[in-house]
Amino acid sequence: MKLGIVGPLDIVEKIKQIIQREFHQIEPKVYIYNTFIDIPRLIDHDQPLLDAILFAGETLYSYTEKRIKPIVPWEFIPRNGSSLLQVLLKIALSQKCSIDRISSDLYDENILLETYKELGIKEDQYQIFTINKQPFEDDFIDSVCSFHEYHYLNNHVTCCITALHNVYERLAQKNIPCFRVDPTANVIRQTVNKMQLYHLMQISQESRIVAISIRIDSPGEYSVFTDDEYQYIIDKTNVARHIYLFAKRVQAAVVEVGKQDFLLFSTKRILENATNNFENIDLLLTVKKNTSSTVSIGVGYGLTAQEAKYSAILGMEKASKLGGDSAFIVYNHNKIIGPLHSGDSKWQVNPDQKIDKKFLIVSEKSGISINTVFHLYGIIEQEGKTRFTTAELAALAGVTVRTMNRLLTKLERHGFCFEVGKRVVTGAGRPSRIVEIIIP
18 pLDDT band, cuts 50/70/90, is very high
390 pLDDT band, cuts 50/70/90, is confident
Mean of all residue pLDDT scores within the chain: 84
In CATH, what number does 81-182 get? 3.40.640.10
**Comparison of pLDDT for 64 and 348, the residue scoring more:** 64
- Of 77-81, 324-328, 401-405, the range with the lowest mean pLDDT is 77-81
What pLDDT score does 173 carry?
Answer: 93
CB atoms within 10 A of CB 335: 9
355 pLDDT band, cuts 50/70/90, is very low
Strands (E), 252-314: 253-257, 261-267, 295-300
**What is the rounded distance in angstroms from the CA atom of residue 274 to the CA atom of residue 4?**
28
What pLDDT score does 428 carry?
Answer: 53
Q: Is the pLDDT of residue 349 over 60?
A: no
Residues of the chain within CATH 3.40.50.2300 domain(s) are 2-77+186-200
16 pLDDT band, cuts 50/70/90, is very high
285-328 tens-digit pLDDT: 888 888 878 899 999 988 788 889 999 999 999 998 888 889 99
Nearest to 415 by CA among 378, 390, 440, 380: 440
Class of CATH domain 207-353: alpha beta
Pairing of strands 432-437, 417-423: antiparallel
Q: Is the pLDDT of residue 332 over 70?
A: yes
Nearest to 27 by CA among 11, 57, 47, 5: 5
What's the mean pLDDT in 80-94?
84
246 pLDDT band, cuts 50/70/90, is very high
Class of CATH domain 357-437: mainly alpha
What pLDDT score does 345 carry?
Answer: 36
What pLDDT score does 102 carry?
Answer: 92
Q: Which pTM value belongs to this model?
A: 0.52
What's the mean pLDDT in 225-253?
80
First to last CA, the chain: 49
Beta carbons of 328 and 319 less than 8 angstroms apart? yes
Q: Is the pLDDT of residue 354 over 50?
A: no
Residues of the chain within CATH 3.40.640.10 domain(s) are 81-182
According to CATH, the superfamily of the domain at 2-77+186-200 is Response regulator (3.40.50.2300)
Residues of the chain within CATH 3.30.70.270 domain(s) are 207-353
